[in-house]
Amino acid sequence: MPLVYGQAISFSPLLYRPRERWSDVRAALVGNIVQPRTAADETPERLDTYARRLDDAFWLAGERLDDAHLDALVVLVADDHRTFDDSNTPQLHVFAGYEIWGDPARADLGEAGDPLVFHCNAHLAAHLAEELTRDGFDVSETSGMYTPLGDPQRGVVPALIEPLRRLAADAPIVPIHINCHVEPHISGHRMAPFGEALTRALDLTPLRVGVLVSGGLSGQPGDTMAGWVDDVLDEWVLGRLNTGRSAQLGRIFDVRSQMLRGSSREIRLWAAAGAACEWAGLRPHADEYIPLHHAAAGIGFMHWRND
């Protein structure tokens, strides 16, 4: 059964906090970094509108995910020194254990610990690891108990936990980590072939499988230009994906720029998912985009499905 559904959602802690906490989230992400001129446009009224748009986008994404009747969901995320530490940082990693856990609570927001556990499809993950390796991808694999080394108290990144919780996704997952934050990063040119190989591997299973991306788009939370968003880049990325040209995203990361740091590096995830869905013949739909300075990221929603 081929890949039957794809969903991509930017990640920012702001997306998973109530509107009344957005100022606090902004303070945590942006601090006292000088903000771009357009940040002043984010008035309370404007932010209320954004909150409604995001609620709608999440609701629609959840409905579509339900409608897809998935047996499993591959989740593409970037680790940020939570699962891995500097003793062993994989470029590509398939988690083939039975459950994974993490705690998305942020101490800087005064939040109490809130760990969640997600069931995983270890069998499918092992199959993917084997097939991807045979297809030329030198994946690392976890086949035992989940043991986070980077942050043993908090486990897997919130980018994996938060959307699954908000979307109420109940299919077992297969977490796949793509290295976006430890240099040297995996080449952007590897993303399209990786996505295609992923779909080929899924073709060999009888399962209905979806892919979920959580990460990006442009932004540098906690960095020297936190709060600045490259909306030109984001809209170009969404435009390419929306016209089935994910392979063109590969060259972005051949270039070095201040604007390509931080979460911008996670556009790799979108490139991989786009290629996987294109290979499966799914139709792209760019659903939403907000260059949201409070979130310190460009916030995009896309999905792929058979119409």
261 lies in the site for another protein, by CB under 8 A = yes
Shortest distance, position 295 Cβ to another protein, whole Å:
17
Shortest distance, position 29 Cβ to another protein, whole Å:
17
Spatial distance between the Cα atoms of 302 and 267, rounded to a whole number of angstroms: 13
Among 24, 260, 283, 285, binds another protein (CB under 8 A): 260
From 57-65, 153-161, 175-183, 244-252, give the range in contact with another protein by CB under 8 A: 244-252
Spatial distance between the Cα atoms of 143 and 262, rounded to a whole number of angstroms: 30
255 lies in the site for another protein, by CB under 8 A = yes
Shortest distance, position 232 Cβ to another protein, whole Å:
5
- Residues that bind another protein (rule: CB under 8 A) add up to a total of 27
Interaction pattern, residues 124-153, with another protein; x per rule: CB under 8 A: ------------------------------
Among 80, 230, 278, 288, binds another protein (CB under 8 A): 230
Among positions 31-70, residues that touch another protein (CB under 8 A) are: 34-38
φ, ψ of residue 12 to 5 degrees: the values are -155, 140
Interaction pattern, residues 6-35, with another protein; x per rule: CB under 8 A: ----------------------------xx
Q: Which one, of 14, 73, 79, 31, lies nearest residue 265 by Cα?
A: 79
Burial 45-54 (b: 16+ CB within 10 A, else e): eebeebbebb
- CB–CB of 285/302 below 8 Å? yes
Give 122's contacts (C-beta < 8 A, 6+ positions apart).
96, 97, 98, 143
Residue 224 to residues 216, 227, 231, 268, Cα–Cα distance (Å):
17, 9, 18, 22
In the complex with another protein, which residue's Cβ is closer, 265 or 305?
Answer: 265
Angle between helices 231-242 and 267-279 (to 10 degrees): 10
Q: Which helix (H) or strand (E) holds 141?
A: strand 140-142
End-to-end CA distance of the chain: 17
In the complex with another protein, which residue's Cβ is closer, 242 or 248?
Answer: 248
In the complex with another protein, which residue's Cβ is closer, 30 or 122?
Answer: 30
242 lies in the site for another protein, by CB under 8 A = no
Q: Contact positions toward another protein, by CB under 8 A?
A: 34-38, 225, 228, 230-233, 235-237, 240, 248-249, 251-252, 254-261
